[in-house]
Chains A and B, each alone.
Chain A
Amino acid sequence: ETGVTQTPRHLVMGMTNKKSLKCEQHLGHNAMYWYKQSAKKPLELMFVYSLEERVENNSVPSRFSPECPNSSHLFLHLHTLQPEDSALYLCASSPRLAGDEQFFGPGTRLTVL
């Protein structure tokens, strides 16, 4: 598999559930990103990791918890979400933290009931 992959592609969860989103990049990149895409709003940067260290936590509620165990994998752990958290969650990676193009995965469509 090439590029940036995300699983699951679709997720429906209740407000009391705990779930995780997974992102994997097969590009040998050192930086990985989580974005939230809501309808008709600009993409919002949530978290950034460089060489497995978090460099950005963009005022994201604590019900979202990222994890980067190695430079190829990025997780977003979800718990006690709200209906307004329903959105498309996009993962991206880039060769280095600054100065390079970001490559995006297909996203996970999350619906919180």
Chain B
Amino acid sequence: AQSVTQLDSQVPVFEEAPVELRCNYSSSVSVYLFWYVQYPNQGLQLLLKYLSGSTLVKGINGFEAEFNKSQTSFHLRKPSVHISDTAEYFCAVRSLNDYKLSFGAGTTVTVRA
């Protein structure tokens, strides 16, 4: 079984400032890693995913994440946020041959002008 911990429940940030959302996971097997974003009154949308290869993964809307196997982390970053990045962000993991996604509790990002 896997578990995911998102270390920050809320992250306030000013427009054009950088943001980092922290995600740690635990698993006894190799996993795939995902970040999803949920805008108000909408479903989840995939931002990026790590399956294999380069540990630095680039996603949509200028987001990127780095997989660190030794620290079992998959932190999400954006160098300069916009008001429109205000949303809830979910980290998720899945073992390689399974369908079950294990989600973190989410991080609410509020971008202020």
Binding site for B on A (CB under 8 A): 4, 6, 31, 40-43, 45, 48, 56, 90, 92, 94, 97-99, 101-107
Contact = CB atoms under 8 A, between A and B. Distances in A.
Interface residues of B, number: 23
A98 B106 CA distance: 23
Interface string B71-110: 0000000000000000000100000111111111110000
Contacts, number: 46
Given A4-B43, A90-B44, A106-B42, A42 B4 contact: yes
8 contacts: A6-B43, A42-B4, A42-B105, A43-B90, A43-B103, A45-B101, A92-B44, A104-B45
B43 A106 contact: yes
The majority secondary structure among interface residues of chain B is: loop
Given A98-B99, A101-B49, 11 more contacts: A40-B9, A42-B104, A43-B103, A45-B101, A90-B43, A97-B99, A99-B99, A103-B46, A104-B45, A105-B43, A106-B42
Interface in B35-75: 36, 41-46, 49
A26 to B, nearest CB: 14
A98 B97 contact: yes
Contacts of A92: 44
Interface of B: 4, 9, 34, 36, 41-46, 49, 90, 96-106
A42 B99 contact: no
Contacts of A31: 99
Contacts of B45: 104
B46 A106 contact: no
Contacts of A90: 43-44
Contacts of A101: 34, 46, 49
Nearest to B41: A106
A107 B98 contact: no
A40 B105 contact: yes
